[in-house]
Amino acid sequence: MNELREKPVWYTLILVLVSGAIGLVFGTAVGMLLGSMLYQGEGNFFEATRAYGDGNSALPMMVMQGVASVFSFLVFPLLAWSLIRKKTFTFFNTQPFLWYSVPLIIVVMLAFLVADSAIIEWNQGVHLPGFLKSFEDWARATEDDLARITKQLTQFQSVGDFLIGFVVVAVVAGVSEELLFRGIIQSELYRGTKNIHVAIWASAFLFSAIHFQFFGFVPRMLLGALFGYLYYWSGNIFVPMFAHLVNNGFLVIMIYLNQLGVIKVDVESTDAVAPWPVVAAFAVLSVGLIYYSKKFFDQKRTADGRQEI
């Protein structure tokens, strides 16, 4: 009877996505207001957001991005989903967060980062057929613009700038994006299809598509799928949130260390971070660690007698 009273999956997802779009508009407006209050450059902050070389706009833009993410990926979608499904945040956690799994998650993500860098290099080199040249030109121009914006946002002038960047890029993005794509969308797709693999890969596809980076689509989709499986195996939304935080946080830290001259590795480059034999070794290591993660969470679930998500 409860299933008969449940709203259809398509209905829930449409309203959640619409609410996210509304949240994006609202969050961007609030973010622009806060950004303009923090902006110390000359002229109008709105115009400064278009000037990639304006160092004064980096911090306000980072704050604006963080606020927009919170409202578009977290607050509005969660509110809409809760009203439709009549459920609370506890729905996303069928099992407790295992603190001793933290080192495992960190190692999995770092190994995957190295392996995924080869996919990034391959995806950047993809060329479409001639009849799609106009789309390819548009896609590359769009990604170049996004790269310039990212470069501006990650030009940390102080430790304070770095910490704010870490919070926005790692913490806010990790929590808000995983709540939407894994907690809500993946769970709803699983409810509708009864096939966890379809749910994981479909939500990973949407996760990658929403970033509007065609020539980074495959590696980001693989990353989203990894988050999805970690969520399904662990039964706790804080696991993919933490994994997402590790992924983004490590990149932010590496960018800052590169700017300080501590390391020479440029993680913003689209080239593989290591020679191919090393990348291949990390790919094998990643597969092994991911398989071990599944066994690890399966054993804990069996030992404690808890049900799957």
Three-state secondary structure readout of 166-185: HHHHHHHHHHHHHHHHHHHH
pLDDT score of 56? 67
What pLDDT is stored for residue 128 in this prediction? 85
Buried b (16+ CB within 10 A) or exposed e, 103-141: eebebbbbbbbbbbbbbbbebbeeeeeeeeeeebeebee
Q: What is the pLDDT of residue 52?
A: 54
pLDDT for 55: 61
pLDDT of residue 155: 85
Single-letter amino acid, residue 247 = N
Predicted confidence at residue 165, as pLDDT, reads 93
pLDDT in tens, the chain (309 residues): 455 567 899 999 999 999 999 999 999 999 989 988 888 777 777 766 665 555 667 788 899 999 999 999 999 999 999 999 999 999 999 999 999 999 999 999 999 999 999 999 999 988 888 888 898 898 888 888 888 778 778 888 889 999 999 999 999 999 999 999 999 999 999 999 999 999 999 999 999 999 888 889 999 999 999 999 999 999 999 999 999 999 999 999 999 999 998 988 888 787 888 888 999 999 999 999 999 999 999 998 865 544 444
Q: At residue 152, what are phi and psi to the nearest 5 degrees?
A: -70, -45
- Helix 58-69 vs helix 159-166: angle between axes, to the nearest 10 degrees? 20
Q: What is the pLDDT of residue 309?
A: 43
DSSP state of 203: H
- CB 186, CB 178: distance < 8 Å: no
Residue indicated by tokens 């290099």: 121
The single-letter code of the amino acid at 37 is: M
What was the pLDDT predicted at 266? 82
Residue located via tokens 């278009």: 50
In this structure, the number of other CB atoms found within 10 A of the CB of residue 172 comes to 21
**By the 8 A CB rule, do 91 and 192 touch?**
no
